[in-house]
């Protein structure tokens, strides 16, 4: 089930989305990971029928608009995009469900606007990636070089949809079925084959990373009840620095599930059981 297509007009960009569930259900805004799209929640959303779940295509992803020429995709800039989507839906208070980068965005939104977030559910994501502060100048130089080279860059062209699915499987360790769900929404037909809809600038190194102390300050500001689902073979389980992030969130519950970085897409039923109980709780 792919949900109902939505288009949201915001002060910044046109955003595409998919919606499931009754209009009077608990409003949940779902935010996908880097280079994914709203279809990331296609397998999970039908298992949460009591929710009004709206899954966004973030700017530069899926069917949403791209940022203007000459601009970067800074992590923190996605936060006002998600707030603008909630405003366009008429939601003054809502729950968040974020995967990977979307989990990082959701955690920052919950910290910045705690009065608007009723629940914070995260899958394989909590805060943004960080880097060694000493590498900051090199990142800025590389980001500028990538931007300048964009007009000459040859983008991948796939002869068939199946070839694109295979590339997505190899890049992210996804099963064919899971990759096909994402690729269907993330691909566009062009002369000679198929290309990704996503903005190629999304692949650039960030010109500026937040430091870990800055990220921890956001974790401390999260007041909503929070649930984090991690795959036992996922990204977070092996990152020791995440332990300090967990410790800074007052009302965080963590569950480890079998699977990798996309447990909600590869095996959604265990995620759905935990999420149904969590969203049914009264903050």
Active site residues: 100
Cβ atoms 95, 252 nearer than 8 A: no
Cβ atoms 275, 253 nearer than 8 A: no
Q: What is the DSSP string of 26-47?
A: EEEEEE--TT--GGGGTTTGGG
- Can you tell me the distance from the alpha carbon of 98 to that of 46, in angstroms, rounded to the nearest whole number? 17
Tokens of 1: 């089930």
Question: Left (φ > 0), alpha (ψ -120 to 50) or beta: where does 35 sit?
Answer: left
State the residue for tokens 């965080």. 252
- Can you tell me the distance from the alpha carbon of 249 to that of 215, in angstroms, rounded to the nearest whole number? 12
State the residue for tokens 């109902």. 4
């Amino acid at each position: 089930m792919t949900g109902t297509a939505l288009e949201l007009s915001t002060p910044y960009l046109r955003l595409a989305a998919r919606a499931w569930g009754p209009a009077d259900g608990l409003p949940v805004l779902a935010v996908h990971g880097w280079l994914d799209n709203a279809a990331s929640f296609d397998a999970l959303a039908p298992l949460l029928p009591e929710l009004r779940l709206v899954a966004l295509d973030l700017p530069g992803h899926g069917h949403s608009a791209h940022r203007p020429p000459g601009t970067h995709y800074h992590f923190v800039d996605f936060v006002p995009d998600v707030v603008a989507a909630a405003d366009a839906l008429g939601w003054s208070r809502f729950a968040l469900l974020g995967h990977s980068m979307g989990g990082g965005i959701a955690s920052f939104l919950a910290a910045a606007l705690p009065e608007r977030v009723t629940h914070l559910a995260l899958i394989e994501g909590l805060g943004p990636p960080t880097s060694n502060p000493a590498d900051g100048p090199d990142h800025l130089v590389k980001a500028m070089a990538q931007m300048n080279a964009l007009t000459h860059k040859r983008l991948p062209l796939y002869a068939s949809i199946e070839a694109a699915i295979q590339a997505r499987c190899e890049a992210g360790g996804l099963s064919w079925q899971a990759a096909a769900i994402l690729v269907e929404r993330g691909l566009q037909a062009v002369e000679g084959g198929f290309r990704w809809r996503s903005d190629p600038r999304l692949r650039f190194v960030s010109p500026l990373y937040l430091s870990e102390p800055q990220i921890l300050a956001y974790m401390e500001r999260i007041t909503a009840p929070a649930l984090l689902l991690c795959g036992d073979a996922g990204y977070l389980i092996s990152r020791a620095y995440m332990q300090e992030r967990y410790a800074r969130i007052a009302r965080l519950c963590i569950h480890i599930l079998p699977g990798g970085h996309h447990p909600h897409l590869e095996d959604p039923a265990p995620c759905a059981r935990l999420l149904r109980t969590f969203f049914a709780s009264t903050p």
